[in-house]
Amino acid sequence: MSQSGSVEQKVLFVSSAGGHLSQLLQLRPWWVNHDRRWVTFDLPDARSKLEGEVLIPAHFPTTRNLLNMARNYQLARRQLSEWRPDVVVSNGAGAAVPFFVEARRRGIPTVYLEVYDRIDSRTLTGRLVRRFTTKFCVQWPEQQALYPGSELVGPLY
């Protein structure tokens, strides 16, 4: 059990480095109580932000790069098989897609948090992972119109 009394879960976070990773780090009050691993790009800012955490390097660039999408799918298969998280959480970008596809195939719940700075159109990653997502969360009411059935969680700064 965690300090808050909830059952500790195994959480696999998947995101790009930079702003995407920074947003997931805002969830620290929740994830600090869980066993977690982070899939992101092995870049200086990610290593710095995740010091002391388990960092699993994803292949990049991911945007429209089919070879790296395939590499990340193999990474997803390996990680989800070896570690078997209770949930996969992401807010994008492209590295999330193969993890959500494979998590769905294995019956592992997924949570996607749409980025806070896109309120007038859907993101490519949001469109791609939507059908593989157990819970799709948005940060602004305007985003709910873009993603019917999504859950409004409010902005994470």
User: What are 67-126's pLDDT values in tens digits?
Assistant: 999 999 999 999 999 999 999 999 988 899 999 999 999 999 999 999 988 889 999 999
Does position 130 have pLDDT exceeding 60, yes or no?
yes
d(CA 21, CA 135): 19
Where exactly are the structural domains of the chain? Answer: 10-113
Q: What's the rounded Cα separation, in Å, for the pair 143 and 33?
A: 29
CATH 3.40.50.450 fits 10-113, yes or no: no
* pLDDT of the residue at 1: 39
Spell out the long-range contacts of 136-140 with Cβ–Cβ below 8 A and sequence spacing 24 or more. 136/111, 136/112, 137/111, 137/112, 137/113, 138/113, 138/114, 139/113, 139/114, 139/115, 140/116
